[in-house]
Chains A and B, each alone.
Chain A
Amino acid sequence: MLDNLPVGSYIPRDTVIHGLRARTKLLLLCWLAVAFFVANHKRFHYGVYGWAFALLLLTLSLSGANPGYIWRRMRVLFILMALSVPFILIWTTGATWRTLGPLMVSIGSLTFPLQIVVTYDGLWFAVSTTCIFLLLYLGTLSLTLSTTPVALAEGIVLLLRPFRRMGLPADEFGLMTLLSLRFVPTLTQETNQLIKAQVSRGADFTTGSLWARARGVITLVVPLTEGALRRASGLATALEARGYGVTGEATMLHEGRMRWLDWTLLVVIPLITIAVYLYL
């Protein structure tokens, strides 16, 4: 049933991209996301998307990901996009580009004409949406491929630290993320065993009405929640005993200081993106 879910898709390697700080990669990904949505407004200008594709494909190849691996992971997304494109094309309003029809459609004894109107906006929207989804996927893939989950969590903590003054518990978020990552395999194993135990008593999660199956899920949700609360209590005691919350500024175990390459990329990539947006 539930196999051990790999968290993220981190593959340990020694590449330039792996060497970059998590903060750099996080900030650049956020920047690109913003750029994609801004570029959406400049219809039929593919500069930003093209530039992003080139950048991300370069990043992925530098991280040592092989094309077959990327393709396999993107297959589902491609299919999803292919399925949704027709709907986007048909249902977006605006200035007409092409019309299809009218076609005579019969449902039962009723016959009526159906006209499919494809607009310029629809066309652009289909293209840009597909691009954005694929690019965001590639972006997060290159992030998780080259960054350990712990470095990611620590990167987020460091980025959020300046907001501590406003009451944002940045360090606590870091611990929460770390604990979640730590317990995913444990909870998966527990859930596996719980499913087997309930199935042994006649629970059925696969057949039967939706309502029956939902009731079956109660036999999982309650014990898992109860177990999680017990764990939390035990963890809290152990953490307290280890001196959690005792001093202010924690050292990061994985996320080191920003280096020249990090700063350079943080300046250069946004500049190029802006340039591409303005001139292409």
Chain B
Amino acid sequence: MTILVDHLSLLYHPGSPLERVALRDVSLRVADGACAAIVGVTGSGKSTLAQCLNGLLTPSSGRVVVDDLELTPNGLHGRELRELRRRVGLLFQFPEGQLFAPTIGEDVGYGPSRLKLKREEVQERTRWALRAVALPDDEAFLARSPFALSGGQRRRVALAGVLSMRPRIVVLDEPSAGLDAEAREEIYATLRELRTREGLTLIVISHDMSEVAALADTTLALRDGRVALSGPTDAVFRQTEAIEAAGLLPPPLAQVAALARARGLLRAEPTSLTVEALADALIPAPRRTLGGDHAG
């Protein structure tokens, strides 16, 4: 499902002395099955934008379009709002902190049960969601307490809790925050699987550019509520000064590429920001084959 953000602006407390512009004329289009990243520092408006996508916040001007549903400054109510929240799932930062039920099955099944579905349907969705996040779906696991799991596993249960509502679009706020390197790689793998196997559209909110590099095809950088950069992730990462101006740190390989470019060490532009491509671009021509000529 495609999601479109059309010239969205949002003011907090309009008309009062506390009035603050959170978002200014932001536009974004995420194609079906794509993964887009929205990056920025704290206060750049990225969390505000994320909350507009599922109707937690209403824009002051502009709109959010999800298929045939439109969120305008008039807001959405009742059935339409529930439908938007069914289509767009939102996973907050450190989501393992929202687990509440005595069993994993109940927690993951909470969303579908609120949709007034039959018990078998809820069970089916619960199992599916757990499988989708690479967790067991047997009775024994469903009966366990969510609090008995490790941090990384609890995060997966929280993700399953959002997936069980069968959204077409999932917005994730810093999905790998606080995880160690191994658990990070696992969660990236899970998210990539979700895209390829289930065709979900993903939107990742982050201020970690390495996370973005691992997941997103396109990137939108926010600065003070405005769009500072946007485009394919690789292209955005080449603009290291602009990224730094937005208060962010480019991923290490992008930094190496930029510094090497400035010092004239690059033989050619790296084709992509991967280890292989960058190594290729740094190696002078005669040495490109292993065991070949080592002439200086």
Binding between chains A and B = yes
Which residues in A have some Cβ–Cβ distance to B below 8 Å?
A: 190, 193-194, 196-204, 218-223, 226-227
Q: What 9 pairs between A and B have smallest CB-CB spacing?
A: A202-B114, A222-B100, A201-B111, A200-B90, A197-B98, A219-B100, A197-B92, A223-B100, A223-B98
- Most chain-A CB neighbours within 10 Å: which of B82, B98, B101? B98
Q: A219-B110, A227-B97 in contact; A201/B92 too (CB < 8 A)?
A: no
Which residues in B have some Cβ–Cβ distance to A below 8 Å?
A: 51, 54, 56, 82, 85, 89-90, 92-93, 95, 97-101, 110-111, 114-115, 147, 161-162, 165
Whole-angstrom CA separation of A143 from B100 in the bound complex:
40
Contact in complex: A223, B97 (CB < 8 Å) = yes
Chain A residue numbers with a CB within 8 Å of B100 are 218-223
Contact in complex: B92, A193 (CB < 8 Å) = yes
Chain B residue numbers with a CB within 8 Å of A226 are 97, 99, 147
Chain A residue numbers with a CB within 8 Å of B162 are 200-201
Kindly report which residue of chain A lies nearest to residue B113, judged by CB atoms. A202
Contact in complex: A202, B98 (CB < 8 Å) = no
Kindly report which residue of chain A lies nearest to residue B96, judged by CB atoms. A223
Least distance between A280 CB and chain B CB atoms (Å): 46
Main secondary structure of the interface of A (DSSP, over half): helix
Chain B residue numbers with a CB within 8 Å of A201 are 85, 110-111, 114, 161-162, 165
Whole-angstrom CA separation of A139 from B37 in the bound complex:
54
What are 29 residue pairs bridging A and B, where the CB atoms are less than 8 Å apart in the complex?
A190-B97, A194-B98, A196-B51, A196-B92, A197-B98, A198-B98, A199-B56, A200-B54, A200-B56, A200-B85, A200-B89, A200-B162, A201-B85, A201-B110, A201-B114, A201-B162, A201-B165, A202-B110, A202-B115, A202-B165, A203-B110, A203-B114, A218-B100, A219-B98, A219-B100, A220-B100, A221-B100, A223-B97, A227-B97
Whole-angstrom CA separation of A244 from B164 in the bound complex:
46
Contact in complex: A197, B114 (CB < 8 Å) = no
Chain B residue numbers with a CB within 8 Å of A223 are 97-100
Least distance between B30 CB and chain A CB atoms (Å): 18
Whole-angstrom CA separation of A220 from B100 in the bound complex:
7
Least distance between B195 CB and chain A CB atoms (Å): 21
Whole-angstrom CA separation of A190 from B97 in the bound complex:
9
- Most chain-A CB neighbours within 10 Å: which of B51, B56, B115? B56
Contact in complex: B82, A202 (CB < 8 Å) = yes
Contact in complex: A197, B95 (CB < 8 Å) = yes
Kindly report which residue of chain B lies nearest to residue A204, judged by CB atoms. B114
Kindly report which residue of chain A lies nearest to residue B107, judged by CB atoms. A219
Chain A residue numbers with a CB within 8 Å of B165 are 201-202
Whole-angstrom CA separation of A219 from B162 in the bound complex:
14
Kindly report which residue of chain A lies nearest to residue B99, judged by CB atoms. A223
Whole-angstrom CA separation of A199 from B57 in the bound complex:
12
Kindly report which residue of chain A lies nearest to residue B47, judged by CB atoms. A193
Chain A residue numbers with a CB within 8 Å of B89 are 200
